[in-house]
Structure formats: C-alpha cells, structure tokens
Amino acid sequence: MDRSIEELNRYQAPLLVRSEVRIYSNPFSEVLIFEIFGIEDEQLEIEVYNQLGQLVFLENKHILRTGKQSIIWTPELLSTELYFYRIFINREEYANGVIFRQ
C-alpha cells in the first residue's frame, strides 16, 4: 500500500521553527526553572532584574545545544516582589515578569 508524502507528513510531529521558552512556576518561592527548547546550537543569555532595574541573576551560555535545556535559578536574599526576566537566544528576545514569594 503506497502512501503519499502529504499523508505521511500529517502523522509526523510538527517541527519547531524557532526556539521555545517555558518558565515555571509563577509565582515561585524556591526555584525558578527556565526551560529552553533549542532548534540548533545557539547563544543564550538570561537576565533577571528587580523592580529597581538592578540585575539579580545572569546566565550566559556561549552555546546552547539543540534540544531541551533547563536552567535553574535558586534566588537568595530576595524580597517578595515582581521580577522581570529577559532571555536572548541568538537574535530573539523573550521578556516577562515573575513573582517571588517567600
């Protein structure tokens, strides 16, 4: 039984066309996990700022490998408040806020 390429492609998992980022849990109290799904070897930088714009966390990886990578941030001596993150993967930027609760 011959199947067309179109028919076979319907049953394959979709391909990522750009990197995907997941951050959890939000709000967080002990750790914040940055989960990155890379589509190729890429440069990665994660910055976390407090409400005053002060950098409180920086992760800079020159090469992020293809596939799933997890970066875990365990904050120390932080007050309960809103924090802002910026993630740079090659030329793409992801930004949002997270809440830290003690």
In a domain, 12, yes or no: no
Query: In this predicted structure, what is the pLDDT of residue 61?
Result: 79
Q: How many CA atoms lie within 13 A of 39 on its CB side?
A: 11
Residue 55 vs residue 5, higher pLDDT: 55
Choose among 43, 94, 45, 37: nearest CA to 64. Answer: 43
What CATH number does residue 50 fall under?
2.60.40.1930
Asked whether residue 3 is assigned to any structural domain, the reply reads: no
Domain assignment of residue 71, given as a range? 18-100
Q: What does the alpha-carbon distance between residue 22 and residue 69 come to, in Å, rounded to a whole number?
A: 11
Q: Looking at the 3D structure of the chain, how many domains does it have?
A: 1
Contacts of 80 (CB under 8 A, 6+ apart): 99, 100, 101, 102
Q: What is the DSSP string of 29-45?
A: SS-EEEEEEESSSEEEE
pTM: predicted TM-score of the whole model, two decimal places: 0.75
43-52 pLDDT, tens digit per residue, is 889 999 999 9
